[in-house]
């Protein structure tokens, strides 16, 4: 590590509120600082689809070594996903740097609902009801025993 001198940013006396979302990555109180979804994954989708098709056609049988085309398609697909991750990280860092340099105070939404009514924020499996298995019903011809009573099995 290289020792550096920390210089404080100039005062701007501006405040920003950030709301994280789905349609837009971040909506802010200042329209100039909104962060729209960059669509990096959508732009690379054609290449990813191609690599998936290449892998599907060349998939080796169990116990067999993978072909060169399969290994290359797997490598290209991994490289494309790594590129998408780097692009997203770069976009986020550039946006964060711009926001921090332009504002003195930043308020970020921390929305975590505690009730079960907000189903959209919880995993779907939490709200699906599992049917309890019914206890087996004995056949009507079999006599029932009272609790604690045992009947002899087999011929008496």
What is residue 24's three-state secondary structure? strand
- pLDDT (0 to 100) of residue 122: 52
Considering the domain boundaries, does residue 26 fall inside one?
A: yes
What CA–CA distance (Å, rounded) separates 13 from 113?
32
Note down the domain range covering 39.
15-127
Each residue's pLDDT tens digit in the chain (156 positions)?
Answer: 899 998 888 898 899 999 888 788 888 888 888 988 889 989 999 999 999 888 887 778 888 888 888 889 999 999 999 999 999 999 999 999 999 999 999 998 876 666 555 555 555 555 555 666 777 776 767 666 776 676 666 665
- Name the domain count of the chain: 1
Crossing angle of the two packed helices 68-102 and 45-57, in degrees rounded to 10: 160
Q: What is the pLDDT of residue 110?
A: 76
Q: What is the dihedral of CA 133, 138, 140, 146, to 10 degrees?
A: -120
* 58 domain-assigned: yes
What gap in Å lies between CA 102 and CA 18, rounded to an integer?
14
Chain centre to alpha carbon of residue 78: 18
User: Residue 24: inside a domain, yes or no?
Assistant: yes
Check if the beta carbon of residue 127 is closer than 8 Å to that of residue 119.
Answer: yes
Contact indicator for 76, 123 with CB cutoff of 8 Å = no
DSSP secondary structure letters along 27-78? EESSGGG-EE---HHHHTHHHHHHHHHHHHHTPPPTTSPPPHHHHHHHHHHH
Residue 108 resides in a domain: yes
Query: Is 137 inside any structural domain?
Result: no
Asked if residue 14 lies in contact with residue 104, where contact means CB atoms within 8 angstroms, the answer is yes
Record the pTM.
0.62
Say if 2 falls within a structural domain. no
- Would you state the pLDDT for residue 150? 67
Q: What is the pLDDT of residue 97?
A: 92
Q: Is residue 9 part of a domain?
A: no
Assigned domain for 38 exists: yes
């Amino acid at each position: 590590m290289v020792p550096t001198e920390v210089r404080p940013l100039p005062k701007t006396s501006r405040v920003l509120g950030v709301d994280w979302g789905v349609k837009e990555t971040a909506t802010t109180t200042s329209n100039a600082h909104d962060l729209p979804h960059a669509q990096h994954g959508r732009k690379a989708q054609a290449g990813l689809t191609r690599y998936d098709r290449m892998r599907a056609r060349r998939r080796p049988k169990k116990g067999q070594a993978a072909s060169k085309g399969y290994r290359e398609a797997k490598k290209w697909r991994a490289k494309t996903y790594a590129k998408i991750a780097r692009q997203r990280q770069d976009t986020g860092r550039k946006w964060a740097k711009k926001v921090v340099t332009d504002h003195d105070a930043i308020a970020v939404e921390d929305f975590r609902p505690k009730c079960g009514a907000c189903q959209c924020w919880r995993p779907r499996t939490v709200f699906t009801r599992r049917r309890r298995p019914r206890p087996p019903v004995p056949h009507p011809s079999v006599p029932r025993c009272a609790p604690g009573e045992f009947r002899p099995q087999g011929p008496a």
